[in-house]
């Protein structure tokens, strides 16, 4: 029996590509080029399955243009906002993701963003690298301490829970808003807020961990930023579309916010030049899951979902 034909759209870890080549008639992208929409459609017409990242977008028009040959989109990501799930379901295309395996890595980046923002990490690094560190005094490079502050989590899913655990290590008081309250053993003493507005009012640090939906795109905006305590810190390791970046830049420039730590942006790659121009923003290029261990696990999880599908079983991480 012929092996299913699989397109892997980006260069993955060698251990993942080797397993894929063993079990599938695999089409790789060794040069790691980004597919245009037209090239993505053409490539997907020639395969049974595609293993994409968040850099490939499968909207309704793309799914329709690919046609009936494609059977499954096995994402190398937790987020699925780059796939129109309703359109995929209507077309009979299975969609899976890779939950769980990147929670620790993304939580580490959230804490890095918090500390980098609070302790003026970007400013300090730039100063030393440019040779401009020529002065010291007790008033030099004074940042904010996070120990014993209030840590607000918007979206208490897997990543939010792990990040809250890490924040507890700093003696922070955990507050959260979620679609539903967690059971007590998962709350671990965290304080639940039924509304976002209530959470914002007590968040010395606000960390975003919710998916992007039609309802929460731009949920952090001029109105909601105004509800945060003065000189709060905003951390985003989820998706850039959660934030109105113009409003965030204004709040940072005015001093309403002390700082922000951002790993994601509305425009990726590239980021936001207005935010990059501000000294009180700690910036990273969407590397929340970028550890050897996590990228291996993500690739293997995606392949596990493909194996289940082609064995006639329900993939464990099916989302559509």
Q: Are residues 258 and 135 in the same domain?
A: yes
From CA 179, how far away is CA 193, in angstroms rounded? Answer: 10
From CA 115, how far away is CA 111, in angstroms rounded? Answer: 6
Q: Are residues 151 and 187 in the same domain?
A: yes
pLDDT in tens, 94-129: 999 999 999 999 999 999 999 999 999 999 999 999
pLDDT in tens, 161-214: 999 999 999 999 999 999 999 999 999 999 999 999 999 999 999 999 999 999
pLDDT in tens, 248-267: 999 999 999 999 999 999 99
pLDDT in tens, 87-101: 999 999 999 999 999
Please compute the mean of the pLDDT values over residues 67-95 and round it to a whole number: 97
Does position 315 have pLDDT exceeding 90, yes or no?
Answer: yes
Which tokens in the block code for residue 213?
Answer: 């939906």
Percentage above 90 pLDDT, the chain: 100
Which tokens in the block code for residue 99?
Answer: 């939950």
Q: Are residues 117 and 135 in the same domain?
A: yes
In this prediction the pTM is 0.94
Does residue 315 belong to any structural domain of this protein?
no
Q: Are residues 264 and 208 in the same domain?
A: yes
From CA 185, how far away is CA 203, in angstroms rounded? Answer: 22
From CA 188, how far away is CA 68, in angstroms rounded? Answer: 47
Tally the domains of the chain: 2
Neighbour order of strands in the sheet with 281-283: 191-192, 173-177, 150-154, 205-208, 232-236, 257-262, 281-283
CA angle 213, 217, 222 (to 5 degrees): 155
pLDDT in tens, 3-61: 999 999 999 999 999 999 999 999 999 999 999 999 999 999 999 999 999 999 999 99
Provide the annotated active-site residues.
239, 268, 286
Does position 1 have pLDDT exceeding 90, yes or no?
Answer: no
From CA 86, how far away is CA 234, in angstroms rounded? Answer: 32
Does residue 198 belong to any structural domain of this protein?
yes
Q: Are residues 184 and 88 in the same domain?
A: no
Q: Are residues 164 and 184 in the same domain?
A: yes
Domain encompassing residue 180:
103-283
Q: Are residues 123 and 214 in the same domain?
A: yes
């Amino acid at each position: 029996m012929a092996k299913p034909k699989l397109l892997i759209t980006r260069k993955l870890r060698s251990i993942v590509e080797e397993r894929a080549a063993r079990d599938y008639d695999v089409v790789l992208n060794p040069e790691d080029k980004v597919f245009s929409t037209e090239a993505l459609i053409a490539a997907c017409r020639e395969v049974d399955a595609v293993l994409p990242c968040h850099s490939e977008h499968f909207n309704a028009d793309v799914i329709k243009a690919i046609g009936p040959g494609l059977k499954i989109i096995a994402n190398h990501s937790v987020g699925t906002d780059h796939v129109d799930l309703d359109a995929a379901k209507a077309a009979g295309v299975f969609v899976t993701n890779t939950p769980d395996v990147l929670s620790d890595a993304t939580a580490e980046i959230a804490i890095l963003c918090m500390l980098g923002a609070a302790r003026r990490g970007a400013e300090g690094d730039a100063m030393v690298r440019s040779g401009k560190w020529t002065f010291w005094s007790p008033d030099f490079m004074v940042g904010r301490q996070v120990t014993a502050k209030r840590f607000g989590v918007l979206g208490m899913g897997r990543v939010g829970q792990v990040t809250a655990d890490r924040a507890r290590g700093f003696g922070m008081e955990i507050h959260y808003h979620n679609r539903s309250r967690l059971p007590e053993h998962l709350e671990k003493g965290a304080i639940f807020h039924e509304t976002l507005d209530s959470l914002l009012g007590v968040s010395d640090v606000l960390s975003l961990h919710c998916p992007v939906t039609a309802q929460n795109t731009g949920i952090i905006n001029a109105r909601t930023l105004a509800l945060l305590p003065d000189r709060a810190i905003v951390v985003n390791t989820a998706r850039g579309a959660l934030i109105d970046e113009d409003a965030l830049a204004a709040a940072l420039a005015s001093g309403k916010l002390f700082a922000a730590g951002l790993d994601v942006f509305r425009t990726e790659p590239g980021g936001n030049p207005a935010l990059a121009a501000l000294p009180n923003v700690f910036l990273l290029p969407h590397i929340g899951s970028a550890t050897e261990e996590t990228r291996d696990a993500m690739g293997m999880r995606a392949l596990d979902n493909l194996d289940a599908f082609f064995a006639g079983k329900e993939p464990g991480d099916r989302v559509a």
